[in-house]
Structures are given as structure tokens and as C-alpha cells.
Amino acid sequence: MKFGVVTFPGSNCDHDMIDSLRNDLGQEVIELWHKDKDLSAFSTTDCIVLPGGFSYGDYLRCGAIARFSPMMQSVIEFANKGGRVIGVCNGFQVLCEAGLLPGVLLRNQNQQFICKNIFLKSENNVASITKDVTGRPLMIPIAHGEGRYYADDATLDELEKNKQILFRYCDEFGNIIDSANYNGAIRNIAGICNKERNVFGMMPHPERATSTALGNTDGQLIFQSLINNN
């Protein structure tokens, strides 16, 4: 699988993502610039990644301006053709703004920026990105001020019905409880996908948990699931 990592003005996790995929996971990575449009080097079995940061300074709303960048127009077309797209943190916000994923990311419930290791768990054995990690708590860092996932009840019920919820915040034992939900996300949701299960968004940063030098490689399991189930 080939990965394309997009850099927007204000991205600050793009090199983290590139290093993780290229050096820790041994994948081919092509760096993409927000003003470019060409995705001809990628097939629908490849993956475009929207990294974390503060695209365009997060003016208006997080991800609201990035959604209109030339590259995002191509990413939307790529996703609509079945190509895989992952948005992490700010990238998740961009995907929601672009209409590729439902719902929004609101200010954290405590109105503060949160940066810490947390635990998440997947019960989704259908999506390629979670198929190999279901049922076990993973320690993955978060770093966001607006990561509280929200959608109306009808949308949430659809997500549940269609198995579009990828991850939920949990404690170290895998219990999905309020005290483990640091940003106050509705139904403890930490990540979702679209109905076709080729567009994935998550607030925690798996790319920050792929190196033995950092003492945590749980993020490798998430990326490896995507690669193994290509």
C-alpha cells in the first residue's frame, strides 16, 4: 500500500505521520502539498492521509478552510471512487467539514486543550482499519482542544446500525465509561468511518505510538490492520 500525506499551512503532525509510516512501518510515502491536485500516482488500494495540526490556523472552524483547498477537491474525488482516506485529529475535522464523514468536532467539554495518553477500543470487526484490533484496549495519545465528537441521535443511530463507529474511549481494561472520555465525546466516540468503510477519521494520534523509542507501539497495530486488510 502506498500512502500520500497532505501538508496544509498549519499542519504540525505531517512529518510525524511520514516518519511513522515510512520508517516504523516500512511503507512507501509520497508527500503532498495542499495547493496541488494530482493524485494520479495513487490507486484506490492506496491511502491518502490528512494529518493533525491547525490547518489554515483553524480560522472560522477547525478544518473549515482546508476543506476548500485544491488538494481536498482531489481527495474528495478519490474517496468517492473508493480510495482510502484517513484523517487524524485536525484531519478528522477536515473530513467532517468536507462532508466525507458525518457529525462535527466541538470544543472539549472542559474547554481546555488535552494532551495525554488515553485508551481506546474497537468493536468493529468489519472496517479494515480495525478488523485486527477489535476487543483490546490500545494506548494512543490525544492532543486537541476541539475533539468532542457530536452528531444528532438519528445520525448516531445510523452509525451504530451500519457499524461505522471505529473506536470508543475506554479505560486501561477496555471498559467504555464516562471517566475515560476526556473530551466528552458523545457515546465515547473516538473515531468513525463512512458507510462504504473507505474513509476513516479519528481524534487520537496513532502515528505518535509506533516507535519503540517512545515506549509505545500500539499505533502500529492500527496501521497494520489497514495494510493487512487492503
CB 201 within 8 A of CB 92: yes
Q: Which of 218, 222, 200, 197 is nearest to 209 (CA)?
A: 218
Residue 94: closest CA among 185, 197, 189, 7: 7
In angstroms, how far is CA 127 from the centroid of its own chain?
A: 13
Q: What's the angle, vertex CA 72, arms to CA 59 and CA 144, rounded to 5?
A: 45
Pick the closest to residue 117 from 135, 88, 137 (CA basis): 137
Residue 201's contacts (CB-CB under 8 Å, 6 or more residues apart) are 86, 87, 88, 91, 92, 95, 96, 101, 191, 192, 193
Q: Which residues are marked as active site?
A: 89, 205, 207
Query: What is the residue type of 220?
Result: Q
